[in-house]
Structure formats: C-alpha cells, structure tokens
A and B are shown apart, each in its own frame.
Chain A
Amino acid sequence: MAGLFTADIENRGLVLDPRTKLAVMITLVVFALGGAGSDIQAVRLATIAVSALPVVLLATARQWKKAAVFGLLYAVLKSAELLLVPQLSGAALSIVGLCCLIFVRLMPSLIMGAYMLSSTTVSEFIAAMHRMHVPQQITIPMSVMFRFFPTVMEEFAAINTAMRMRDIRMGGRNAGRLIEYRLVPLMVCSVNIGSELSAAALTRGLSTGIRRTNICKIGFHVQDFAVAAVSGAVYILWILGMTGVVK
C-alpha cells in the first residue's frame, strides 16, 4: 500500500505536468461523472475514450498492476452497462443498473485520482500550485497532507502485522471490534508522527510568511500536449454538439 500517494521517482516512466493531470481530472468530472453532453452521440463516445485515459496514464507511469486491475474492472462494468442492463427488468434491473450507473460514472475520476496521487511528488505539486498562483496558505497545508498519507499507510501496515500475530482477524472471536482495535493505535501513532513532522518542518523554515522558491522543474512537454488534446477534443465535440454541427 505504500505505493499509494507517493511517486516512485526511481521508476516513474512518463512524467506529466501536474497541471495537465488536473485538466484531465476536471474533464472527467464534467463528462464522466457529471454526464455533461450525454445527449450527444459523439460526446458519449468521446467520454468513453477519455474515461480510458487514466488507465493508459497508469500504464505509462509503469504501474502495470493497477492499470490492469482498474482497466479490466472498468471494461467489465461499462460493457455490463451497455450490453447487460438493457436485457434486464424488475429488481435485477434496479440493482445492476444502479451499481453500473454509480461505478461507471465514478470510476474514471477515482482512477485518475489514484494516478495523480501516485505519480506526483510533493515538490512538483507545490511548484504547480505556485505557477497557478494558488496562495501558499492553501498549498502548504495540502502538501503536509500529501506527506502524511504514506506515513499513515506505513503505520497501518505495521498495525495489521501486529494484529495478525495476535490472531485478531476477520472471522476471529473479536471480529466486531476490529475497527476499534485498528483505529486506536493508528490514531495514537498518527498524532505522534504528525506532531513530529510539523516540528521538523518548522525548524526547516516552512512558513507562510516568506515567499518560497522551488528548484523543481515542471513544464509542458509533448506528452502533455497529447493528453490535453484528447481531453480538449471532448469539449469541442460538446460545443459542436450544442450548436448542432455533430449529433
């Protein structure tokens, strides 16, 4: 789990500018989740293409396993929505239909989120926010959060190991209290680490008063333009659809 929320900078494959990732995310939220322009055939097809983008991006970041799992899951759900749901009726229709509706809409954004978190470093994130003129008062707390997650994950893994050794697990005598048993040590450890982390950051001059500089190089490259073109295309189709040029 430690791979989540951290960019493995030793083996990261294709690097995109964080701003490009954000643009894709917004596109996914508008079209896949929000369902904008779903009355236009061309936009519907383009949305499917854009929804596949996060899976492709995961693959370019060499996160093969995640790409395969998410890709497969999305493919199954989408084909169920397109092929299975129209055949159903009654209770089956409402259950399967609802599940498909929710997951097919949510998944692209979720996969994109997983990709963003697992492929961006803290310094890239700060640099991108800086370029977008987001004030440090917002960026710094968010970057602390970024840094905090992987540590909490590490703690969680250690706690799970301890639970396995004590034979406290699913289906055991104490199944009902599993969540409490995990949360108490997790919270104690997280509070300790959070407080130490803030102390360390303060002694190294992290503050909102001074204007930070950044040595992290971010910028747009060929891959950014390619990705931006794909998501831009959906908007164009949408506008063309609304003006009646395409259907």
Chain B
Amino acid sequence: MSGNAAVLRDVTFRYANGEQGALNFLGLEIKRGECLLICGSSGCGKTTVTRLLNGLIPHYYEGELSGDVTVCGRDIRRTAIEELAGTVGSVFQNPRSQFFCVDTTAEIAFGCENMGLPEAEIRQRMDAAVSDMRIEKLLGRSIFKLSGGEKQKIACAGVSAMLPELIVLDEPTSNLDLDAIDELREVIAAWKSQGRTIVVAEHRLGWLDGLCDRVILMENGSISAEFSGADFFALSTRKLNSMGLRAAHTDCNYLESETGLHAIKPFSGSEVITLENFVYSCGGRKVLDIGRLELPAGSVTAVVGHNGAGKSTFVKCLCGLQKHFRGTVTVGGKRLRSRDMMRLSYMVMQDVNHQLFAETVLEEVMLGAAEGSEEKVEQVLEKLGISQYKERHPMSLSGGQKQRTAIASALLAGKKLLVFDEPTSGLDFRSMEHTAELLSSLDRDVTVLIVTHDMELTERCCTHILHIENGQIKQMVKQ
C-alpha cells in the first residue's frame, strides 16, 4: 500500500455547463491520515477538487476531464460512484439538501443500508458513530426540526458509520454559527485520531487552526502556494487578505471575549426609530423580551448573539412577518403596528433566489416601485452598479448581483429599513468586501440591520452592534 490516500496528476477539467471552477494541470498528493485544507477565492476550483475525490466528477457533473485521478488506489474513471461510497465519505455545504430520509436514525443508517450491510452490523456501526459524536439526544428526531449545526452533525455521523478512509468536506461551516463550528471541529478531531484522511475546502479558516497538517491555496484551477498548518495560521490577516482569503482569527468566540465588539465605524445622527413592546412567546416561553429599543435612523447595525438567542425572531417581528406579535415601531412620529411594519421594512434572505420573481432586472425593481419613477430607477440601478444588467434575467446573474437586485427592489419600493440575514455566509474575501462597501454606501435615509456572525463584515460597515442573548438586549455597542 502506498502512503497516499489520493493522487491527482496533471488534472484538467472543464464543466460542460460552463460552471465556474475549472482545473488547469493540477497536481496534488494527499497523504494517508493527513488533514488537508484547500482554500482560495470563489471559483478557484476547490469544490471541483472535492468532487473529483468523491467521484461526482466525472460520474455526476459532466465535463471534459484529462489527467489521472487515483483515490484510495482506484482509478476514478473506472470506479462507479457507489463502489467508492464506502471508501470516500462526503459532507456538503447545504444542510437542506444533503438528507435523504426525514428522520435522524434512518438518515445515519442510510449509507450503510445502501452498502447492503447486514442489519446487526449497521446497528453496531451506528452505535459507535453516535457515541463518538455524542449525539444520542438527536436520535429519532425529525430532520426538519433540527438546527443547521445539528443537521451537519447527523450528516457527519452518517458518513462516520460508513467507515470511509477518506472524508471530503465542501464548505461544511457556511451555514453554521460559532458554537456549531466548535462542535464540528471536535468531530474532525475524532476522525483524525482514528487515522482517517480528511480534506476540507473552506472559506472560513480559524476553526481548522491546530487541526490541519497542510494547507494549499488555489488560484485559477491550480495550486499557487502550499503551507504547513502551523506556518499558515501564523500568517497575518493582511497577508491572508492579500491572497483573497478571509481572516483566520476572527472566528474565535468574540461573543465571550468581547474584543471583536469594539472596532466599529463612527456615526452621528439624532433621529431614532423606536421599537416598543417587542415581546414574543412561543410554547409558553418568552423567546423575545425587549421592552424598548432605540435604533438610530440611518445606522448600520449588526445583530449578534448565540444561536437561539432570539435574533431571527427579533428581525421577523421587525419585518412584520411574525404572527400574533403586538409590538410597535415609531418612526418619524408615526406609530406602526405589525402589519404596517411590513411596508416599512424588507428582509434580504440568505438565499436570494427566493425573492427574485420577474423576467428582467428592470421589471423586477419596477414591481413595487411607485408609478412614474423611471428616473429614480435609473439612479438606484446606477448606484448599485447593476444598470448594465437591466435587461438580463435576474436568475442568470451572479450571487452578488442578485443581492444587489434585491436591494434595489427594496429601495425603490420605498423601504426604510433593510434587514440582511447572514449576507456574507460562504463568501470569499473580495465578495465580502464588496458587500461591506455596498452596505455602507447606502443613503442615510435607510436604516440597515444585519444578522451576522461575520466579524470582518461588522468591522467594515457597521456603526452599531446589538447583542441579543436569551431574547433580551445584552448590550448595544457604538463607537
């Protein structure tokens, strides 16, 4: 047996559908038992590498492939993807779309069942995986009722039970909060101690500090630099940013250390939006309990807090989306109830695809716009840098352009309060910077709230930080 878990030699690949992430003469050896981090900006090809390792390329995603790919001693071209399943395990980015069953127990067993293992052995493997990950409490639950972090743990347990030699993770943390990331870190540490080979393609870096042995940086489909784990995490944030990477050390738990909560932009302005009686109970428990809060009009406020702290309930109430909510918002002397709040505010969701409906960008932004405002439409599109796309179909735009289209439609519909739900999750450094610039360049008559865990974004564009815990305001930070 060789010491390599996988070898890629002179690999060139183009997606048949023109998707980003082509590879150019990539050469890579992955040693048995190592933990390898692949990083690089969006479209550099790191996801493509993970797809080669688990056989999705060439067996599922079509394209032109040349060069040799050997995974665990097998030629990837001549190995059917289901044969590879017991050898290579995969964890994906989107917890919504990687589950096959609707309950957790069946989901963990799913891979083993597909391998045709006898029932007794599946039970035994499941017990081992469940106790390794300490997820006894999650057994027998409905997948749809789990949090993102819990879902990701179930996915890991399912992979673990198949006892793969190589485990491939493609941006596993992009939908997770900090606590869930800590737990994922423990899972990976456990795999490492069992001697499994681990490959992670990631934007978020900090959580892998101390875990990964080797880091490769990719650019335009080939490897541009290689570091040992220790060297890589010793690099300064500025150096990482210049390579198009996110900072490695802002991911540490800023909510406890509170160091991350200070570096914010100055703000002046005296008008306020007053939130009153923001109280909401669910199942007899008060999820949200804020008596009164003054948001400076025109500010950009980050809403931070642990998972389940009440952040999403808070913004839902603010957008008038929460049923049976009786709080009020006073803006410019006018007192609004829940139904009117919907006219005041707009939420840009994490998946922008949900909120673009029309055939062209122009039609999209005109949907809610007042009659006879063509001039203003031009202005807004120009300002957001999407006027050249106004005849394009919104769905044909890139993620960032879609986000801008959604913002334009909200501005033109006269929304005064924009709420963003994790606008930078899964974005690389440059895209995050663009979003930050965009958010701070909005007119002062628009107030922005950003629900985020991204401290790099916060320090670039936020004027205030609202820290919510247990449904209450822990603190409101400003410069």
Contacts and interface: CB of A to CB of B under 8 A. Distances in A.
Interface string A4-29: 00111110000000000000000000
Interface string B124-145: 0010000000000000111011
B401 interface: no
B102 A204 contact: no
For chain A, the bracket of interface size reads: 35 or more
Q: Of A7, A155, A166, A185, which is in contact with the most chain B CB atoms at under 10 Å from its CB?
A: A166
A243 interface: no
Contacts of A114: none
Interface in A174-194: 174, 180-182, 184-185, 188-189, 192-193
Contact of B97 (A143, A200, A212): A200
A214 interface: yes
A229 interface: no
B354 A189 contact: yes
B144 A10 contact: no
B436 interface: no
Contact of B56 (A8, A203, A210): A203
Nearest to B93: A196
B123 interface: yes
Contact of B351 (A10, A158, A167, A174): A158
B321 A197 contact: no
Contacts of B94: 193, 196
A198 B342 contact: no
Nearest to B117: A213
Nearest to A164: B342
A155 B354 contact: yes
A200 B94 CA distance: 10
A209 B73 CA distance: 22
B81 A174 contact: no
A197 B82 contact: no
A39 to B, nearest CB: 43
Contacts of A7: 102-103, 142
A122 interface: yes
Interface stretch (A59-67, A95-103, A146-154): A146-154
Q: Of A185, A189, A202, A214, which is in contact with the most chain B CB atoms at under 10 Å from its CB?
A: A202
A38 interface: no
Contact of A211 (B98, B116, B395): B116
Q: SS class of chain A's interface: helix, strand, loop or mixed?
A: helix
B113 A200 contact: no
Given A200-B90, A209-B80, A147 B395 contact: no
B102 A6 contact: yes
Q: Of B101, B116, B345, B356, which is in contact with the most chain A CB atoms at under 10 Å from its CB?
A: B101
A85 interface: no
A77 interface: no
Contacts of B321: 161, 164-165
Nearest to A207: B82
B395 A205 contact: no
Nearest to A174: B367
B100 A204 contact: yes
A165 B463 CA distance: 26
28 contacts: A6-B142, A8-B142, A121-B103, A122-B106, A144-B100, A147-B100, A158-B354, A162-B355, A166-B367, A166-B413, A167-B342, A182-B357, A189-B351, A196-B94, A197-B97, A200-B97, A203-B85, A203-B89, A204-B85, A204-B100, A205-B85, A205-B162, A210-B114, A212-B114, A213-B118, A214-B113, A214-B119, A215-B106
Given A121-B102, A143-B100, A202-B85, 18 more contacts: A6-B102, A7-B103, A122-B102, A158-B351, A158-B354, A165-B346, A166-B368, A168-B357, A180-B357, A185-B357, A202-B81, A202-B82, A203-B55, A205-B86, A205-B162, A210-B114, A213-B112, A215-B122
Q: Across the A-B interface, give the 6 residue pairs with the lowest CB-CB distance, nearest first.
A: A205-B85, A162-B355, A205-B114, A181-B357, A196-B97, A207-B82
